[in-house]
Structures are given as C-alpha cells and as structure tokens.
Structure 1
C-alpha cells in the first residue's frame, strides 16, 4: 500500500483554510484561525466585517479552484471574488531563503488581518509554483 505524500506547510495552510466550513462563522473565528496558524500575533486585533468578508471570499474562491482541479464544476464568480481579494493584497519577495518557511512571498501591508491574508496568498503562490495545489483535497 502506498503511503500518501506529506503536504508542505504552505499546502497544509491552504487545505486548513479552505476546509474551515462552519468553523469560520464570525470575526472571532477568523481571529482564532489566523492566530492558531501563526499568521497574526497573539495580541487582540480588530477584525472588521470587511476583513471577514474578504477572508470568506478568498476561502471560497480557493476552494472553488481546488474543486475545479479535482474535476468538479467551477464556481466562476467565487473564483473572481477571490482574485479581487488577491489583487488587493500587497506582498514582497523575501531575499533570505531561510525566512521562506511558507512562501518566498511576505506580506507588505501593515494591517494585521490583511497581513494574515497576504500570508495565505503567499502560501497559495507557493503551491501554485510547485504544482502541489493539485494534491490538496477539500473534502
């Protein structure tokens, strides 16, 4: 029997994010997810409804893209909404490869919530670059 391949840290983050389902029902849940995955500091940060809506749009679009890759029908509108979120996130490239645990991309924004979303965007870029996104199961 073949042993399943272990996912990278970036792919694990993407899988965890897109499979949050009902556990990402409010702003407190988003804060908990971002903290549990060390995407934001432990200190309290305000999360606006707009932040929460962006996180849901990103999650739903990434999940739709992963489902499309698995042969399911694509939700083009969810993917388009996620792309708009990604277009609004600023990232920069890390010069020190040792700091690139999740991705060679780093957040270039000040707001902590958007930094967390930018880290998810960086992880998505990493799994796209390696082709690993095709192995992430969302079910």
Structure 2
C-alpha cells in the first residue's frame, strides 16, 4: 500500500488554475479566481479583455503540456501562445530561498492581473523544478 502524498502549494495552484475550464468564462471569473487564491490584493481589479485572454491562453498552454505528457491529444498552438505570455511577464528571482515556494519568482509589475499571472508562472516554475508537474492531472 502506498501513502498518498499531498500536493505542494505550487502544484495545488497550478492544478486549480488548469481545472478552471469553462468556469473561467469572463473577466469576473478571473477576478474571483485571483482573489480566491490570494494572487492579487483585495479591492477592485481592472481586468481588460486582453488580460483575460492572456490568462486563458496561459491556462490552456499548461493544460496542453500536461495532456501531452499524459499521452493525450493537445493543441500545439496553445503551447506557443502560452510561452508568449510567459515571455512577456516581468518577474524577478529572489536571491535568498523563500519559505513560500510561490515566492521564488516575484512579480516585477504593478498591474494586479499581471502580478497574479506572474505568481501562477512562479508556481509553474516551482513544479517544473521539482518534477511535480508530472503528477498534475487535467
């Protein structure tokens, strides 16, 4: 008998983000997700349509990569779009190891939505570094 292992906070965040599926249907849903996972400050979050599309593209790219790793069909273009989103995020690397692995990469932007996406990118980087991404299912 094997003992189930608990996901790290980074893997839990990535899993939750990928699992949004049709639940991430509009800007209000994105705001609710970012707040629920404490990726943005409390208060009003001005989310543009471009912000929303970036979030969906990043989610779809991570899901596509996980599908590919699981041997399922996936959208190759989603990977390209998602990488473009990641390339455009401004993050900074922490010099000292943080207690919270989600703080490994810190958002270097002021915009709340981009900060939230940068924190998701940090979580993705953490699960890639540990190999835990292989345990996340879509």
Fold-level match, TM-score > 0.5?
yes
Quote the Cα distance in structure 2 between the aligned partners of 1:19 and 1:100.
Answer: 22
Question: Which residue of structure 2 lines up, in the alignment, with residue 129 of structure 1?
Answer: 129
How far 1:103 sits from its partner (Å)? 4.1
Q: Deviations over 1:65-93 (max 9, x none)?
A: 01111111231101111000001001111
| Partner residue, 2:78 | 78
The aligned length equals: 138
Alpha-carbon RMSD across the aligned residues, in angstroms, is: 1.2
Judging changes above 3 Å, is the alpha-carbon distance between structure 1 residues 8 and 102 closer, same or farther for their aligned structure 2 residues?
A: same
Task: Determine the structure 2 residue equivalent to 1:69.
Answer: 69
What is the deviation of 1:22?
Answer: 1.5
What is the CA–CA distance in structure 2 between the aligned matches of 1:95 and 1:38, rounded to whole Å?
Answer: 23
Q: Which residue of 2 aligns with 1:114?
A: 114
3-state SS, counterpart of residue 101 of structure 2: coil
Quote how far apart the aligned CAs of 1:97 are. Answer: 2.4
- Tell me the distance in 2 between the aligned counterparts of 1:103 and 1:133: 17
SS of the equivalent of 1:98 reads coil
Structure 2 gaps of 5+ residues are: none
User: Any idea what the Cα deviations from partners look like across 1:87-118, whole Å, max 9, x if unmatched?
Assistant: 10011111342353324111111101000000
Cα pair 1:103 1:126 within 8 Å, conserved: no
Match of 1:54 in 2: 54
Given that residues 97 and 104 in structure 1 are in contact (C-alpha distance below 8 angstroms), is that contact kept between their aligned partners in structure 2? Answer: yes
For 2:52 and 2:101, how far apart are their aligned partners in 1?
A: 25
Report the CA distance shift for 1:77/1:86 in structure 2 as closer, same or farther (over 3 A).
Answer: same
